[in-house]
Structure formats: structure tokens, C-alpha cells
Structure 1
Amino acid sequence: MGSVVRDSKGVVLGTVERVGMGFAVVAGESGKIEVEFASFAKNNKGLLINMPKAKFDAILAGGKPAN
């Protein structure tokens, strides 16, 4: 836990706060979100998910992401 999670462009989204059955909780600047294990990938910098930071932040804020 504590691993950094980035978007597909390498922008830091947050860190893994805890791990559950089939998901990890990623804590960002404005909140937390559960991400299924299947949504994670790994590269030379560590964990990543295929979601832009703007969309991630919008989900945490409870708003609809901009297209």
C-alpha cells in the first residue's frame, strides 16, 4: 500500500490506501475511489489506470467528467 497510481500519460492520480477483495482504494487530492484490480496496469513507473486526471478528479468531486 502507498503505491503511486498514475494515469496513462504519467500524471499522478493518487496512492493506494488499502486493498479489498478485487479492488484497491486510490486516495487522490480530493477524495477516494475504489478501482477494480482489472482496471490497473503496470509500467516502469509503477501502477496506472487508463483514465485522465481530469476525469478522475471529476469523479472524486461527484461531478460528471468533461468529454
Structure 2
Amino acid sequence: MAKKRTLKPLKQVSAERAEKVRQAFAKMKEEGMKTEDAVHSLRVKYRLARSTVYNYLKG
């Protein structure tokens, strides 16, 4: 049988995802992508709402 893994707390998972989104956004802006296009790309990649992406970027 497979070993059981402990689940991460929801707060930790959310914080990790927010950090990934921030890093990806910074990379896209460095490459010269417009803000709206970068946010749309992140929405598709991480399956998030637009407001969620903007909240992650504010934090």
C-alpha cells in the first residue's frame, strides 16, 4: 500500500500559490508583457479568478 502523506494546511497552500503567481507575474512583466495579458495568462494557468490574481499581486 501507498504511504499516507500529511496534508498541508489550506493557508500554507494558498500562500505558496500566491508566491508562485507573484514570481510568474514579475517574470512576464520583465519580458515586456502588458499587465492585462499577464493576468489573463496567470488566470488560465492557475485556474483563478481575475480578482484573486490581483489580490495575490497586492499581497
TM-score scaled to structure 1, two decimals? 0.25
Q: Which has the higher helix share?
A: 2
Which structure is richer in relative contact order (CA contacts within 8 A, separation 6 or more)? 2
Query: Which protein is bigger by CA-based radius of gyration?
Result: 2
Determine which structure has the larger strand proportion and give its number: 1
